[in-house]
């Protein structure tokens, strides 16, 4: 297995960008971002090959990585790709099986399966000429037979392995003496856990809460241990409305602090700052009551602090308040033979310890030269969270989670395709470095716990607008500012972006009419002036 075997000939028409042979793009990962990147690059005429270490697609939604009852953190309308919505029969919050089936349908519909090499883990990526200016050499190893490797060359590479590629397992002392099982939250679905009676979950994020609730529902002794709680929100508001369909909007984002602000946000976060404070104060008071959060699990800092790690839960707090789950706020000192020992010396017996301790991004396959271009001082150094300024043939898509990951990944894929095809001019390297520095300064103040770089999180419309402006595309996606700001920020608004980009290249793009607040203000001023002048 060697060379570029397995790469299919390009199927899209590139006559508007390049009449030569299709340029080769290697994509690492076949989760949501990898699939949508492959689809968009094919539409832009590139020769695409995707490497996936699992036996099936899906990334975090792969069969081997999902626990029972896992659901999307947002509703099907928001956790969706722009031009391929979920079937009407899908649950309001899709379960893992529904997400995985939908991604499989997406891959089949857009002809992506022949482009994917399953059971192939990328173990090395380096620049052909050392720095990557002439393309890349990639080595993939079979996960079935470790003696089987393939070597490939690509003009460009997009890394889509994401923020959840490698489970983070803290190295706690005494593990070798523990007689029970230890599993990461993504790995405890193994049949060996079926007969356990006592479950201890470490962590307080959404996955940890889900695992503790599962154990309680299965009639097991369930204990959750955590150092500090995280903000959670209910899936449904009073009356049954799905909460994210109200909260994921441009209006809500007016209240978050972002380093790039239009005039209305400058006004709100300047003279209108008390309004912002009041809004978050009320929300910080309402959410614990709506969820029934005991004082032990209410974060010390009110929103928006901690908004980046917010999750949606089902029945965890109900089970906790019914004493089906025990919650202990403490650090874990380590293991002993029958369970875990806390910082204060308390010992909790366990047959199974589930680590809801999060994930880490794996870049071990990058050469030293490429790694130095991607990370600076231990933090990601990427323009628009995508492109290393010093290496403009390598991109990262979907690496920084948002509230609507499919949308941000899809717009990021369009941005990267425009960049690699030469249809979008990039600023000078020095200017890109300055932009990264500006965002870094903000991130260190706003999200100091993000150890490896900026977090896109709830700033979805701000981020998408930046990418759209770079591509010369209009940022308003509806007919008027009321719909634009008060309506849910839905991926479907961007369903025609591919056609718009093609029309822009052909010089035939027609701008859709948009009634902005400034238009309304100008009209009111004009009417007032006319009335005054006619009196």
Cis bond leading into 304, ω under 30°?
A: yes
DSSP output for 260-308: S--HHHHHHTTTTHHHHHHHHHHHHHHHHHHHT--GGGS-SSPTTTTGG
Beta pairing partners, 360: 166
- Tell me, yes or no, if the pTM score tops 0.85: yes
Structure tokens at 506: 């052909």
Crossing angle between the packed helical segments 32-43 and 96-109, to the nearest 10 degrees: 20
- Contact residues for 481 (Cβ-Cβ < 8 A; gap 6+): 514, 515, 516, 517, 520
CA 248 to the chain's CA centroid = 14
- Smallest Cα–Cα separation from 138: which of 35, 50, 20? 50
Are 330 and 343 in contact by the 8 Å Cβ rule? The answer is yes
Alpha carbon of 61 to those of 42, 55, 252, 297, 301: distances in Å? 23, 12, 28, 28, 32
The string of DSSP letters for 403-442 reads TTHHHHHHHHHHHHHHHHTT-SPPPPHHHHHHHHHHHHHH
Residue 223: how many CA atoms within 13 Å on its side-chain side? 21
Q: Of all residues in the chain, what percent are helix, strand and coil, respectively (each to 5)?
A: 35, 20, 45
| Tens digits of pLDDT across the chain (535 residues) | 333 333 333 333 443 445 567 899 999 999 999 999 999 999 999 999 999 999 999 988 888 877 777 888 889 999 999 999 999 999 999 999 999 999 999 999 999 999 999 999 999 999 997 666 789 999 999 999 989 999 999 999 999 997 777 778 888 999 999 999 999 888 766 556 668 899 999 999 988 999 999 899 989 999 999 999 999 988 888 778 888 888 899 999 999 888 888 888 899 999 999 999 999 999 999 999 999 999 999 999 888 888 777 888 889 999 999 999 999 999 999 999 999 999 999 999 999 999 988 877 888 999 999 999 998 887 889 999 999 999 999 999 988 878 888 999 999 999 999 999 999 999 999 999 999 998 888 887 777 666 565 566 678 999 999 999 999 999 999 999 999 999 999 999 999 999 999 999 999 998 888 888 877 777 788 888 787 777 6
Q: For residues 465 and 446, give the distance between their C-alpha atoms in angstroms, rounded to a whole number.
A: 20
CB-based burial of residue 40 (10 Å sphere; 0-12 exposed, 13-18 middle, 19+ buried)?
Answer: buried
DSSP H or E segment with residue 49? strand 47-51
CA 6/CA 26 separation, integer angstroms: 12
Q: Residues 135, 155: contact at Cβ < 8 Å?
A: yes
Taking the C-alpha atoms of residue 286 and residue 455, their distance in angstroms, rounded to an integer, is 26
What's the pLDDT at 14?
41
* Residues 460 and 489 sit within 8 Å (Cβ to Cβ): yes
Place of tokens 């634009």: 484
54/34 Cα distance (integer angstroms): 13
Surface-to-core class of residue 368, CB atoms within 10 Å of its CB (0-12 exposed, 13-18 middle, 19+ buried):
exposed
CB atoms within 10 A of CB 195: 8
- Judge whether 402 and 463 are in contact, CB under 8 Å: yes
Burial of 448 (0-12, 13-18, 19+ CB in 10 A): exposed
């Amino acid at each position: 297995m060697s060379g570029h075997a397995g790469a299919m000939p390009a199927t899209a028409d590139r006559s508007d960008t390049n009449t030569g042979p299709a340029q080769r793009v290697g994509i690492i990962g076949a989760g949501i971002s990898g699939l949508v990147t492959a689809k968009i690059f094919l539409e832009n005429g590139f020769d695409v090959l995707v490497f996936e270490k699992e036996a099936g697609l899906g990334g975090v939604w792969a069969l081997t990585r999902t626990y029972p009852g896992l659901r999307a953190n947002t509703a099907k309308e928001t956790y969706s790709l722009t031009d391929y919505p979920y079937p009407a029969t899908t649950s309001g919050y899709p379960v893992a099986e529904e997400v995985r089936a939908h991604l499989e349908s997406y891959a089949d519909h857009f002809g992506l399966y022949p482009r994917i090499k399953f059971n192939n883990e990328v173990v090395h990526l380096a620049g052909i000429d050392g720095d990557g200016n002439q393309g890349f050499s990639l080595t993939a190893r079979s996960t079935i037979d470790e003696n089987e490797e393939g070597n490939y060359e690509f003009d460009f590479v997009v890394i889509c392995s994401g923020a959840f590629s490698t489970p983070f397992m803290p190295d706690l002392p005494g593990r070798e003496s523990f007689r029970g099982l230890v599993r990461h939250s993504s790995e405890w679905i193994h049949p060996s856990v079926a007969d356990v009676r006592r479950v201890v979950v470490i962590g307080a994020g959404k996955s940890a809460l889900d695992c503790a609730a599962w154990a309680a529902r299965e009639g097991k002794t369930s204990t959750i241990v955590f150092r500090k709680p995280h903000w959670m929100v209910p899936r449904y508001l009073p009356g049954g409305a799905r909460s994210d369909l109200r909260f994921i909007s441009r209006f809500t984002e007016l209240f978050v602090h972002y380093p790039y602000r239009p005039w209305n946000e400058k006004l709100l976060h300047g003279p209108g700052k008390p309004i912002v404070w009041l809004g978050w104060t009320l929300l910080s008071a309402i959410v614990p009551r709506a969820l029934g959060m005991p004082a032990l699990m209410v974060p010390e800092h009110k929103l928006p602090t901690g908004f980046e790690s917010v999750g949606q839960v089902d029945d965890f707090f109900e089970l906790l308040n019914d004493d089906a789950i025990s919650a202990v706020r403490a650090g874990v000192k380590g293991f002993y033979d029958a369970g875990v020992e806390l910082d204060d010396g308390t010992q909790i017996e366990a047959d199974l310890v589930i680590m809801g301790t999060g994930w880490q991004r794996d870049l071990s396959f990058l050469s030293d030269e490429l790694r130095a271009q991607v990370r600076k001082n231990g933090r990601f150094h990427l323009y628009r969270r995508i492109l290393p300024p010093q290496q403009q043939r390598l991109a990262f898509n979907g690496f920084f989670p948002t509230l609507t990951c499919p949308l941000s990944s899809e717009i990021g894929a369009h941005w990267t395709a425009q960049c690699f095809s030469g249809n979008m001019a990039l600023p000078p390297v020095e200017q890109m470095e300055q932009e990264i520095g500006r965002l870094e300064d903000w991130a260190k103040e706003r999200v100091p716990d993000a150890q490896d770089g900026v977090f896109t999180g709830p700033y979805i419309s701000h981020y998408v607008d930046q990418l759209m402006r770079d591509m010369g595309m209009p940022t308003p996606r509806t007919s008027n500012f009321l719909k634009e700001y008060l309506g849910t920020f839905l991926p479907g608004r961007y369903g025609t972006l591919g056609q718009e980009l093609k029309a822009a290249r052909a010089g035939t793009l027609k701008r859709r009419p948009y009634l902005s607040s400034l238009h309304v203000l100008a009209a009111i001023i004009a009417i007032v002036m006319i009335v005054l002048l006619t009196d």
